[in-house]
Amino acid sequence: MSPAPPLDSRMRFIVVGGSVAGLCAAYTLRQSGHDVVVLDKRDERVQTRAGIRVPPNMTRLLETLPGMKTLLREYGTECEGMTFLEGETSQIIGRMVFLDEAMADLGCNFYMVPYDILLKQLLHLCRQIGVQLKFRTEIASVTVAFGQRPSVVSVWGERFEGDVLIGADGRDSIVRDTLTQQMEDSDDENDDTDLLAEREHSAGVSEIVVASYSINTSQFRDNPELQKLVDSDEYMVWPGSHVLVLGHKCGPELYIVTVTRVTGATPTDIDSEWNPRAPFPRNTDALVAEFEPRVKSLLKLASHCHQTIQRIPAVRRITHAPTSMVLIGDAAHTITIGATHNSSIAVEDGFALGRIFSHLTERDQIPYLLHGYREVRFGRSMSTEASELGAFIVVTFPPGPARDARNEQLAYSLINPDDMPDELLAMTWATYLVQFNYDANEAVDEWWLMGKFNMPHRNTNGNGHTNGHSAHSSEYE
C-alpha cells in the first residue's frame, strides 16, 4: 500500500457500480491513499452463477493483487486454446493452440473463472484496504456543475459527494447519461473524434443480444459426448449463420455456454439482470435450431440463464473534465459480452484509472489526469471493440463464398505448429499477441513519463500559500 497523501491532498472518489472494473479502480485508488466509496444497487448476498474469461492481459493485472495468483490456479481453468467447430455438423474447421513457448513469453496464462469467486476476492481486498462499500444503494439522480464537486442521490434520498465521480454502472449507466448530456450542452468541438470512431467501428450494428447459460459439470456424467467437453480445457466455438455459440469450463464445477447474435433484439428477447432468478429466453430453441445436437443438449441442462441486450450508443464519450466525471467498463464501451476481451478491457480501465490518479495531489490536477485517462484508454477500448465485433461478423458468415473463404483461412490453423512455416505461424498469432501482450499499467506509465512536466499544480509564494491554478490547467477543463 502506497503511503497516504497529506490530508489536504487526499481526494474522495465516488464509484457508482460494484462491477469488477469498479472494484479494481476502487482498490488501486485507495491503495494510493485516497478515500473511495463504492455504491452498488445489488444485494451482496445474491450470488450469480456466471463465468468470466481472463486472457493474459487481464491476468497480468489481477496477479498484482494479493491472493489472485492462487485464486486463478485453484478455482479457474487454464485455457489451452480454442477449437472451431462447424455449427451444424461439429466438424473441426480450425484450432488455436496456446503454445507453451508463446504463453511463457507473455508471462501470463489464459483462465476461465467463476464470476462469484473473483468478485468475492475483489470485495475482500477492497474492505481490507479501507474502501467503503454500500450495497442496495441504487442511484436516482446525478448532480454536476462546472467548478463544483459532483454528487449522486440514492432512491432512498441519501446523498454522496466527491471530487471525482466514476461511472462503473454498466450498459444502462446513469452516470453516462449525465455525462453525455453535459457534453451535448457544452457543444464540445472535440466530439467529432468520438463520433467518427463510433461510426467506423460499429459496421451498422446497433444491438447485440447475448444469452449466457450456466451448467453444473456434475450433470454431464451420464452423457459421454458432453463429458468430453468438460474433460477439455479448450474454449469451444460453434459458428452459425449470424449466431455464435461458445462453451468452456470455469473451474471444476461450472460450464458456461453463451449464444450471441448481432441481428438486433426481437419482441421475445429479455434484457435481464445478472441474478439467479432471471427468466430463460423464450426463443432459445429457434436460435440454436441449426446447431448440432450437443449444443441443444447443453442448453437443456442449464440451471441458470440471463439474456442481455447491449445497445451501442450513437455517440461515445468517456470523460467530462469540467464536472469531474469518468466512465469505465461497460458504461464506457460495448465489447460483446460473449467475446474474449469484454471483461479484460473493463479491468484494464479500472487499473489504468487508479494508476493515473495515483499521481493526484490536488484538485486542480483532475482535468489533466482525466485527459490522460482518455488518451490512454479511448483508442485501446475502441480498437478492441471494433476488432471483437469484426471477428464476430466474420465468424458468423452465412453459407456462401465468404464462409468458404473463412473456413479455408481457419484450416491453416490445423497444420501442426512444428510443420507450419514461420510466416504463417506469425500471422496466426499476430492478432492474439497484440491483445494479450498489452499492459495497461505500462501504458499509463508511458503517458505519465511523456507528459508529467505539463502536470498542473498550484503556484506558491514564499510562505507556501497557494496563488491559484497553474496556467496549464485551463486547456483540459
Question: Mean pLDDT per 10-residue run, the chain (477 residues)?
Answer: 56 95 97 95 81 94 96 94 89 85 86 94 97 96 92 96 96 92 68 47 73 91 88 91 92 92 80 68 77 91 86 80 95 85 95 94 92 94 87 89 88 71 64 86 93 64 41 45
Alpha carbons 394 and 403: distance in angstroms, whole number: 8
Residue 217 has which C-alpha cell? 459439470
Residue 239 has which C-alpha cell? 459458428
Task: Say if residue 334 is exposed, middle or buried (CB neighbours under 10 Å; 0-12, 13-18, 19+).
Answer: buried
Give the 3-state secondary structure of residue 330. helix
Residue 48 confidence (pLDDT): 76
Question: In this structure, is residue 296 part of a structural domain?
Answer: no
Provide the 8-state DSSP code for 213.
E
- The structural domain count of the chain equals 1
Domain that holds residue 195: 7-76+111-200+316-387+433-454
Question: In this structure, is residue 44 part of a structural domain?
Answer: yes
Question: In this structure, is residue 248 part of a structural domain?
Answer: no
415-419 long-range contacts, Cβ below 8 Å, gap at least 24? 417/97, 417/99
Residue 182 confidence (pLDDT): 87
Dump the DSSP string for 136-186. S--EEEEE--TTS--EEEETTS-EEE-SEEEE---TT-HHHHHHHHHHHHH
Contacts of 83 (CB under 8 A, 6+ apart): 92, 94, 95, 96, 232, 234, 235, 236, 237
Residues paired with 209 in a beta bridge: 261, 309
Rg (the chain; Cα; Å): 23
Alpha carbons 150 and 167: distance in angstroms, whole number: 12
Residue 408 confidence (pLDDT): 86
CA torsion, ordered 369, 374, 376, 378, to nearest 10 deg: 170
Residues paired with 464 in a beta bridge: none
Calculate the alpha carbon distances from 86 to 79, 244, 397, 401, 416 in Å.
21, 11, 12, 15, 20
Provide the 8-state DSSP code for 32.
T
Alpha carbons 127 and 369: distance in angstroms, whole number: 26
Question: In this structure, is residue 267 part of a structural domain?
Answer: no
Alpha carbons 426 and 433: distance in angstroms, whole number: 10
Question: In this structure, is residue 226 part of a structural domain?
Answer: no
Give the 3-state secondary structure of residue 238. strand
Question: In this structure, is residue 125 part of a structural domain?
Answer: yes
Give the 3-state secondary structure of residue 396. coil
How many angstroms from the chain centroid is the CA of residue 129?
23
Contacts of 393 (CB under 8 A, 6+ apart): 203, 205, 262
Residue 427 confidence (pLDDT): 62
Alpha carbons 247 and 400: distance in angstroms, whole number: 25
Residue 356: CB atoms within 10 Å: 26
Residue 409 confidence (pLDDT): 82
- To the nearest 10 degrees (0 to 180), the angle between helices 440-451 and 366-395 is 140
Residue 30 confidence (pLDDT): 96
Residue 6 confidence (pLDDT): 53
Q: How many Cα atoms sit within 13 Å of 178 on the Cβ side? A: 26
Residue 474 confidence (pLDDT): 43
Contacts of 446 (CB under 8 A, 6+ apart): none
Task: Say if residue 104 is exposed, middle or buried (CB neighbours under 10 Å; 0-12, 13-18, 19+).
Answer: exposed
- Contact call for residues 399 and 239 (beta carbons, < 8 A): no
Alpha carbons 429 and 285: distance in angstroms, whole number: 35
Residue 14: CB atoms within 10 Å: 27
Residue 321 confidence (pLDDT): 93
Residue 268 is which amino acid?
T
CATH code of residue 133: 3.50.50.60
Residue 3 has which C-alpha cell? 503511503
Question: In this structure, is residue 11 part of a structural domain?
Answer: yes
Please report the sign of the dihedral spanned by the C-alpha atoms of residue 225, residue 227, residue 230, residue 234.
negative
Question: In this structure, is residue 154 part of a structural domain?
Answer: yes
